[in-house]
Chains A and B, each alone.
Chain A
Amino acid sequence: EVQLLESGGGLEQPGGSLRLSCAASGFAFSSFAMSWVRLAPGKGLEWVSSLSDSGGSTYYADSVKGRFTISRDNSKNTLYLQMNRLSGEDTAAYYCARAASGSFDYWGQGTLVTVSS
């Protein structure tokens, strides 16, 4: 069974940093691209970032480019999202998702990030 379990969310002040993790199991993690998608309060889903299976190619939404860094450790079956210079607009539930042929076929339950002073 494919499982994705996010962690690392919490309350952070504006300008601060957080690192999210996503532990994957039940599939060949190193064979799949992975992504982060977020859902802000009262808004719709927003794609945040994606990473190729090897980690060699990264992609970012304009809203996070230069502030967020996606990475993975295939030896630990874990995906990461380093979030710097956080602002209130980054407040959201962050979901880890497996990317397959342009869509996201499996999702974690999400981790909540709140940016507030």
Chain B
Amino acid sequence: DIVLTQSPGTLSLSPGERATLSCRASQSVTSSYLAWYQQKAGQAPRLLIYVASIRATGIPDRFSGSGSGTDFTLTINSLEPEDCAVYYCQHFGRLWTFGQGTKVEIK
């Protein structure tokens, strides 16, 4: 089974800075089935990015996804206080798999 490893575990940045979140797959995966989610405390997860780089409906363009093969990245440009959350990557292959998450803290 494919394992998704996210890094770093926690990212602490100031408003206006850029956040770069990594998701590494244990073997090459198809970008068509790589997604990113945001989960704020006490809320349901929200789909941010699907097919590795397509923003979901209503997602601000400061969120972008990239990557292929085993290495994928979620970039948040110009961080805002409301971006404080845990971010998960997810892949669909034989079954569905989530990474362990990256917590983004705003200083």
In the bound complex, residues from chain B placing their C-beta under 8 Å from that of A101 are 32-33, 50-51
Between A and B, how many residue pairs show CB distances below 8 Å? Answer: 64
Q: A101-B50, A105-B50 are in contact. Are A45 and B44 (CB under 8 A)?
A: no
Q: State the main secondary structure of chain A at its contact with B.
A: strand
How far is A106 from B86 in the complex, measured between Cα atoms in Å?
17
Q: Which residues of B contact A (CB under 8 A)?
A: 32-33, 35, 37, 39, 43-47, 50-51, 56, 86, 88, 90-92, 95-101
Query: Does A50 sit within 8 A of B, measured CB to CB?
Result: yes
In the bound complex, residues from chain A placing their C-beta under 8 Å from that of B35 are 102-104
How far is A108 from B46 in the complex, measured between Cα atoms in Å?
10
Query: Does A13 sit within 8 A of B, measured CB to CB?
Result: no
Q: Are the CB atoms of B37 and A45 closer together than 8 Å?
A: yes
Selected contact of B88 from candidates A35, A45, A106, A109, CB within 8 Å: A45
Shortest 10 CB-CB contacts between residues of A and residues of B:
A102-B92, A102-B33, A103-B35, A47-B96, A107-B44, A44-B101, A45-B98, A103-B50, A44-B100, A105-B47
Of chain B, the residue at the smallest CB distance from A93 is B44
Q: Which residues of A contact B (CB under 8 A)?
A: 35, 37, 39, 44-47, 50, 59, 61, 95, 97, 101-110
Selected contact of A107 from candidates B33, B45, B101, CB within 8 Å: B45
Least CB distance from B55 to A in Å reads 12
Least CB distance from A11 to B in Å reads 20
In the bound complex, residues from chain A placing their C-beta under 8 Å from that of B88 are 44-45
